[in-house]
Amino acid sequence: MDGMLSQEEINALLNSGGADGAGAEGEEGLTDVEKDAIGEIANISMGTAATTLFSLVNQRVEISTPVVSYIDWDEIANTFVKPCVFIQISYTIGLDGSNLLVLKEADVMTITDLMMGGDGTNTEGELGELQLSAICEAMNQMMGSSATSLSSMLNKKIDISPPKADVIDINENLNGADIDPFLANKFVKISFKLEIGDLVDSEIMQLYPLSFAKEMYESYKNNMASDSTVAKDSAPTPDIEAAKQPEPAATQGAPAQQAPPMQGMPMQGQPMDPNMAGGYAMPPYGMPPYGYGQPVNVAPAQFSPFESNYSPMMQHENIDLIMDVPLEVTVELGRTKKSIQEILDFSPGTIIELNKIAGEPIDVLVNGKYVAKGEVVVIEESYGIRVTEIIK
């Protein structure tokens, strides 16, 4: 056995759940086969999203294997931390429907703080418009990369609309219909364990309408079936394999057929045709090139001596041509780095500490190049710089 499944076995796995009826659709609304397929789709797509999140927060991001279940709103309301951030992602091309991504408020605060250049510990206070906009941008990039993975798995183009984020207290939405109509009935929940460095060790959820999960499964099943059919059709038949076998050698006494010469190549013993393009033809395969072994005249290359006309006077005249070119001189008092959050907090009276010590010489730059050091002086009512050192 080569470990490969036959077409009949693949069809049996996709269309049924086994002889014991474990895969038959029951009260849960999804068969075991459908759960496994949806879990595999979510695992691959969210793995791609985790890679995108890593590039945004510059921290190790790990998302565990998903767990698929079929539940109602009461189970969400009784188990998940409140308040939560609900992010709605609608599919515009390839799939018809939407899903909700549910994150804890503290996790969103950590992610957005990392995105804004913080260390992820600034999680005090409530989520504002700035944080919601940041998490929407993060989800837009994450779910965009996830849609690309879905396109490969389902073999069709898939696109999403910009996500929408809201902070919602689950206790105030008894049936969930105020968030999205599909939450009024039972729906599909896919839960993941999310880890971000040493800052987040939490759970996130994706909520699907049952019809959306079924549509995604059907697309996945059809694509798998078509791939297996193509693989089966492309397998070589015995007739083709026999045709590829080399013909037996000619029997003794029978003249062997000589293959016709390739175009542009003379037969063995045939003189080269000087009228051919370029006046040259390659020899038959296995024979040395024409002229091989004949002596070749080799002589060192001869160069005329180089006479330099350089003189200091000419150099001086060349420099005179650019003496009037203006250059920008900049005096730099010091530098520092600030995060976007710190810059947004700037106001009149804010003091910014630089990397220079009081009394230390300041830098003089010409067209951005560091050329000298100096000290600040006052000339009448203007500032000036007294050069104290030239940088070599």
- In angstroms, the CA 201 to CA 302 distance is 75
Q: Are strands 187-196 and 200-208 parallel, antiparallel or unpaired?
A: antiparallel
Any bridge partners for residue 63, and if so which? Answer: 194
What is the pTM for the complete model shown?
0.52
Give the chain's radius of gyration (CA, Å): 37
Q: What homologous superfamily is domain 7-228 in, according to CATH?
A: CheC-like (3.40.1550.10)
> In degrees, to the nearest 5, what angle opens at C-alpha 289 toward C-alphas 286 and 293?
115
**pLDDT truncated to tens, each residue of the chain (392 aa)?**
455 555 555 555 555 444 333 333 444 578 888 888 888 888 888 888 888 888 888 888 888 888 999 988 888 888 777 788 889 888 888 888 888 888 988 888 899 888 888 888 888 877 888 888 888 888 888 888 888 888 888 888 888 888 888 888 776 666 777 788 888 888 999 999 999 988 998 888 899 898 888 888 888 888 887 766 655 555 555 544 444 555 544 444 444 444 444 444 444 444 444 444 444 444 444 444 444 455 556 666 776 665 555 555 555 567 777 788 888 999 988 888 888 888 888 889 888 888 888 888 889 999 888 899 998 888 888 888 899 999 87
In which residue are the tokens 């076995």 written?
Answer: 9
HSE-CB of 135 using CA atoms within 13 angstroms: 28
- φ/ψ of residue 183, rounded to 5: -75, -10
Q: What is the CATH number of domain 326-340+354-392?
A: 2.30.330.10
Number of C-beta neighbours around residue 151 at 10 A:
15
Residue 341: closest CA among 171, 124, 180, 181: 124
Tell me which H or E stretch contains 377: strand 369-379
User: Domain-by-domain residue ranges, the chain?
Assistant: 7-228, 326-340+354-392
